[in-house]
Amino acid sequence: MPASVSNYGPAPSLLELVDTPFYSQRQYECGPAALMTVLTVSGVETTLDAVTRQVYLPGRQGSLQSELLAATRAAERIPYVVAPALASLTGELAAGRPVLVLQNLGVSWAPRWHYAVVIGADKENEQIVLRSGTDERRVMRTALFLRTWKRSGFWAVTVLSPGELPADADRDRYVEAVAGLEQTGHNQAAREAWRAGLLHWPDDAGVQFGLANTEYVLGNFAASESLYLDMLKEDSSSLIARNNLAMTLVALGRNDAALEQIEMALEHATGSPLLEILQDTRRITLDSMQSTVD
């Protein structure tokens, strides 16, 4: 096991979130039980039956990873897949969040896939504490835990409330997670998450773009206009910002300004993979001018 994975990280050497609730699993339903645990800690009010309905797959006698992520979004929370390292788990624990992990308790050719929730780590005694299956407090040697976790590709997810940042503040993972929330239509939650991101990474174009797009979807066109303009101030060649600015101006009824922006973008778009989209925007702008005249 490489040290980069098995290192406990800078978190306190003895951690245990003793107040984490425990939901004993029914047969094959470790996924619902583990998800219920982390959602409840995040303040989601739900029931084990409701969560089971969202993630249990009878024909497979189990739950898929992507369904756990989707159900987290359904609860207006951000499923944040942490980096594959023990330090990611201890970092989240130190921030008060237990972490849902996927383990293979069997072997590669006869796997026994199991979801559990890491609630504690003891560096001195080399132990990991979990809410696991029907075990309210399962203590595993760290080395064994890491072996079972490794077989799942170190898959682990923590549940963030909109506005919370992950302990490792990994920009790419955060943007990916919030973009997923936005793509599935949870725009209010996404807006709050982008705003929190913008406080931490004020000049990041990806985060600005995310917030601007979310404001657009929510119909706050003035807010998205000013965010796209911020992006263009930093990088006047950003075609994605200029395209969406033009669409925003159309929505605001400022078709002339929109046309000016999209023509400016098209001037620099020769050979760009975005060309087709920019042309669509130009057409939409012209249509809008036409219908205003009519």
Partner 1 sequence: MRSTIFRNFVVRFVSLSILSLGLAQASGAAMIGTQQGIQSEARDARIMHVQAILSRTDVAEQLVLFGVDPAAVQSRVGNMTDAELLALEGGLDKQIAGGDAVAVIGVVFIVLIILELMGVIDIFKST
- Which residues of this chain interact with partner 1, rule CB under 8 A? 27-31, 53-55, 57-67, 69-71, 73-74, 102, 105-106, 109-115, 133, 152, 175-176, 178-180, 182-185, 206, 209-210, 213-214, 216, 240, 243-244, 247, 273-274, 276-277, 280-281, 284
Question: Measured from the CB of residue 76, what is the shortest distance to partner 1 in angstroms?
Answer: 10
**Nearest residue (CB) to partner 1, 87 versus 212:** 212
Q: CB of 157: closest distance to partner 1 in angstroms?
A: 12
Q: Which is nearer to partner 1, 37 or 65 (CB)?
A: 65
Pick between residue 15 and residue 178 the one whose CB is nearest to partner 1.
178
| Pairwise CA distance, residues 181 & 175, whole Å | 10
In the complex, the smallest distance separating the C-beta of residue 101 from partner 1, rounded to whole angstroms, is 10
We find the least distance from the C-beta atom of residue 8 to partner 1, in angstroms, to be 25
CA-to-CA separations, 159 to 44, 136, 148, 247, 263, in angstroms, rounded:
10, 20, 22, 34, 43
Question: What DSSP state is assigned to residue 60?
Answer: G
CB-CB contact of 96 with 12 (8 Å):
no
Radius of gyration of the chain (CA): 23
C-alpha to C-alpha distance for 248 and 232, rounded to whole angstroms: 14
CB of 197 to partner 1, least distance (A): 11
Residues sharing a CB contact under 8 Å with residue 35, sequence separation 6 or more, in sequence order: 51, 55, 63, 68, 71, 72, 100, 115
CB of 265 to partner 1, least distance (A): 11
Smaller CB separation from partner 1, 79 or 166: 79
Given a contact cutoff of 8 angstroms between Cβ atoms, the answer to whether 160 and 77 are in contact is: yes
Of 13 and 279, the one with the shorter C-beta distance to partner 1 is 279
Considering beta carbons, is residue 110 or 293 the nearer one to partner 1? 110
Contacts 24+ apart (CB under 8 A), 39-45: 39/72, 39/75, 39/77, 39/159, 41/17, 41/97, 41/98, 41/159, 42/75, 42/77, 42/97, 42/159, 42/160, 42/161, 43/161, 44/75, 44/76, 44/77
96 vs 111, beta carbon nearer partner 1 = 111
**Sign of CA pseudo-dihedral 30, 35, 36, 38:** positive
* Shortest distance, position 7 Cβ to partner 1, whole Å: 26
